[in-house]
Amino acid sequence: MKRVLTYGTFDLLHYGHINLLKRAKALGDYLIVALSTDEFNAGKGKTAFHDYETRKMMLEAIRYVDLVIPEKNWEQKISDVKDYHVDIVVMGSDWAGSDRFDYLKDYCELVFLDRTPGISTTKIKHDLGLVKDET
């Protein structure tokens, strides 16, 4: 069984998230989503619209997702790969130019998937007036 792991906040769930999860699942047999906790997001200066438990419930209802685990800090990735016997870690292509996650290549395959054009949680928040434009 090939296990795939991805990370994210998955706030204001949208079709871009579904596309990512579908493509990640297609890389293997079992998809694990490490979902950013509210505390971890706060440490990054982010606030999700939905709390962790609500986001977790939504992800668990998606047929591509086999398991949701908490993402509590940046440093847990190696232990996640080891503990869950992960073969592939999937990250968004916006990280592809960075060497931030290169260390994972010593433990598993690292795959970058393109984001879905024209949609993002940030765009939705702006369109709904939930985020003020800084001018």
* The one catalytic residue among 2, 22, 25, 46: 46
Longest dimension (CA), the chain: 50
Contacts by 107-114, CB closer than 8 A, 24 or more apart = 107/78, 107/81, 107/82, 108/5, 108/81, 111/27, 113/20, 113/23, 113/24
Structure tokens at 26: 């297609």
Supply 42's token pair.
């706060």
The reply to whether 82 belongs to the active site is: no
Q: Which of 22, 25, 44, 56 is catalytic?
A: 44
44 is an active site residue? yes
Q: Which residue in the block uniquely carries the two structure tokens 């792991």?
A: 5
Residues with catalytic roles: 44, 46
